[in-house]
A and B are shown apart, each in its own frame.
Chain A
């Protein structure tokens, strides 16, 4: 079930109450059963078998990698384990027979997590888990099951095994973070989606400014949707004293594309870097910058294909590969140029770089969002041609209040960001109890009034 549904809003407190009254020795079992029930709500039994298969394969080969005596044996079990997991991923996502019949929600995420587990054992960065139940829970823990974060064994397993004691600070923070994520998803992301869909589902009806504005809108829709999900996942987990990995760090404040990938979908970019890019770069290191370039192109090709078996995603990945490859060559000259002009510490330079980086990211998003490659090429070739005014249909086809709702949502978002410090709601917590209650009730009312509750899935469900 999705986090932005009323059934989840009933599910979570029920599970939490059961968790509180359950004996500590069996809490892992309660969470494991709950996670499988959570996954079963998708009404796709095949996915449950896939999850179980990934758990069994990874547990089995993880133990064998650790017990293997020779390096060759360790490598053999590693590749068997990776192959088994990738086979399931390819079967569910990329083969026409299965991928056209079932949306493999969650598979990409927990398969990658399983591969990271096996690789970490091989690289002596983690120990194989000997308790099957805890391992199963590590892969299936419901807050992160459908869209990540992709958790490392070293972070999540110890937390799942720790003795639980109710922590009011965690409980409060978890609920606040969950509400914040819900606001981002149903109030901002889904409303932005209205405009994005009008243009991107019928691109040939538009030229000029609507194409540009809807692309920028999509960049924010994607961020609000995915980071909103992440906040709800992290908030849900925090109720159980589990700290999942933060997936976003103000990505649109990045001053370069490389910086962007240190701030966007951090668990995936770390995975891609640790298990694809770095090994490739080590292999090709004697080829200098060209070796790095090849590694980057291959890495982002994998990143693109992970999102889906479509040329649009391949192009999207290759664009980032090209961006970063170019930066390998021009970065030294760029540094010298800034130094020669005496602007390397200038404030305007930072904002200029943020602006340029955001537009590079938005350009790539054209391919990510477009329904076909043809649509993507039409968009980029007609973005600065044709009529420059906003088409009336683009702005008002959903009713004259839609734009107003969106404006209010954006204003509230900006205000809360300005008032909130350190991302952990500390400034909120300093308010008096009356003001805190007032703020919370006002916030929930805003979500109910401005939110779009016509059920829309999280965007990363389809990856």
Chain B
């Protein structure tokens, strides 16, 4: 196993990532209250949510630095959840 796959961030990086997540959350909270952003509100909120999700998984859960096998295992769960999500909403015509 290559060394690079096991390199983990330092506390300083964790603090910076947490700051970025906090700023993203602040923007997220502001978006519904800014009328000018109404046309892009949903895509913007979803983009912020995905960015925060991926950041926590990659850095805090170390998936970016760990064995690739863990990524695949988790990806199966997430993709499966999205499939369940899509199928349920399409079957019940909720979309």
A-B interaction: no
